[in-house]
Each structure stands twice: as structure tokens, then as C-alpha cells.
Amino acid sequence: MGLFSKLVGKKEVKAEAPVSKAYADSSSIDADERPYYQADEYYTCAAHQGTPFEKRVITFDERKAISYPSSTGLYVAEDLLLEYCSYGTYPKPKNGYPGFWWFEYGIRDVGNALKSLLDRGYIQYDSAENTIKRLTVAELKAIAEEHDIPVKGKKDDILKTVLSALPSEEIEKYAINRKYRLTEKGTAELQENAYIPYMHKHKNKTIEGSQFGDEFNVWSINKLLKGKNVSEWKEVVGAKEEKLFGENMVKKETL
């Protein structure tokens, strides 16, 4: 058995995911996804005393009752998941799923939430060829060695040689840990609701429920956009920025 076969030969066993708990506790997380989360204790409010995360988390299902969906029916957290899928690192990101998915957006089982977007046609798995492009030089050389393919040069040269020498079924075999990419439907959804990733990353966003001044976060903007054409989000956000911070930041950023 070659080096690469040793790396990918073990089959992963997935746990059954009870749909009713997809966004609540950790019991629905697939076994092969668990390494991409912190230990369960991390997700308790008690573990974050003295921080903004010490309060009770508002779960995704609870959010659905107090926030407003997009024109296609997606909620804030789901649109933000599309943003992260556009980076080509989900599912199973190298550094794991950040804690903000639970503490800020109420999603404990990120993998299951992603599958829901997959089922509804907002994302799809990337191609086998693109997946292989993300392999390291050592992994590509291991594939070449298993198939007696002579290779030399830099990664691009090795990749081109391996892809041209292997039949499509073999390429599929080595395309492990595929990442999601947006479909046309997902791209249109994210473009329409671009205020969500903008507010998620905003350097001046405020803590939800703060008693000090006006709130400025994705939830407050979500409420302000109710009944408006979401394409007007830059005007809404810009006006709020001018009131709170004295400058229209979103206008400067999109010039």
C-alpha cells in the first residue's frame, strides 16, 4: 500500500444526525466532524464569565422567531454560512469552526446547517479536479508514485502531469475532503444580503442588548431593513454609521 493510500484508506464512520437537534446541542454532530469543534465545555456560558458570551445563547430556532428572513427564506446565520462557503474552506475548516457560530448565531452543529443549505440548492460540492489542486506537493507525489507516474518540477507541473495521466474515476478516488462552493442560487442570495457579512466583520459593531447607546450590529440592521428593499441596505447602514460614528464607512468601502 502506497503512502497516499495509507493516508486516505481508512473509512470514517458517521453518526446518525437527529434532525430535531440540528441547531441545539452537540449530539447531532457527525463523528468525523467533531475534531473541528472545541470541547463541549467551551460552548457553555459558564466557560465565558466576564465576557460578552456569558449570557444565555439565543439558539437558531429562537432567532427565527425574532428576526426576519431574506426574500428566499434564509435567516442571518444561513446567509453568513454562504459567505464562509465562498472562501472554499467549509466544511471541516483547517482551524475548526469558530465559536461565534454558537455564541452569536445560535448554531451548535455547523455541519448540519451546511447540509441544509446543500439540500436546498444554495451550495454544492466542488469538483474533484479543484479538490486535488488543494493537495500538498507531498500528497501529489505520493499519488504519482502509486501509479508509476514520473513527475518533476513545481507543484503546478506535478499537478498537471498527475491530472493528465489519471482517468476520471481515479481522480474522484483521491478527491477527499471536498469543500463547498456556492451555486448560482447561493451567489445571488449572498449578493442580495451582503449587509450580513459586512455587519459581521464591522469593527464598530456593538454587543447585542447593550444598555449603552444605540445598537449597531447585524440584528439591529436586520430589523431596520424590515419592509424595505434589501438593496437599500447601504443607505440604511451608511445613515446609521454617520449618526453613530460621524462617517459613512460603507460608502467609502464600496467606492
Query: Does 29 have pLDDT greater than 90?
Result: yes
Distance CA 159, CA 134 (A): 10
What the block records as the C-alpha cell of 123 is 451550495
pLDDT of residue 174: 81
pLDDT tens-place string over residues 120-172: 999 999 988 888 888 889 988 988 888 889 888 898 888 888 888 888 888 88
| pLDDT tens digits, one per residue of 178-206 | 999 999 999 999 999 999 999 999 999 99
The grid coordinates of residue 179 equal: 469543500
Give 73-126 pLDDT, tens digit per residue. 999 999 999 999 999 999 999 999 999 999 999 999 999 999 999 999 999 999
Strands 123-125 and 180-182: antiparallel
Burial of 234 (0-12, 13-18, 19+ CB in 10 A): middle
Strand spans (E) along 94-133: 123-125
Cβ distance 144 to 150 under 8 Å?
A: yes
Whose CA is closest to 88, among 177, 175, 179?
Answer: 179
Instruction: Answer yes or no: pTM beyond 0.85.
Output: no
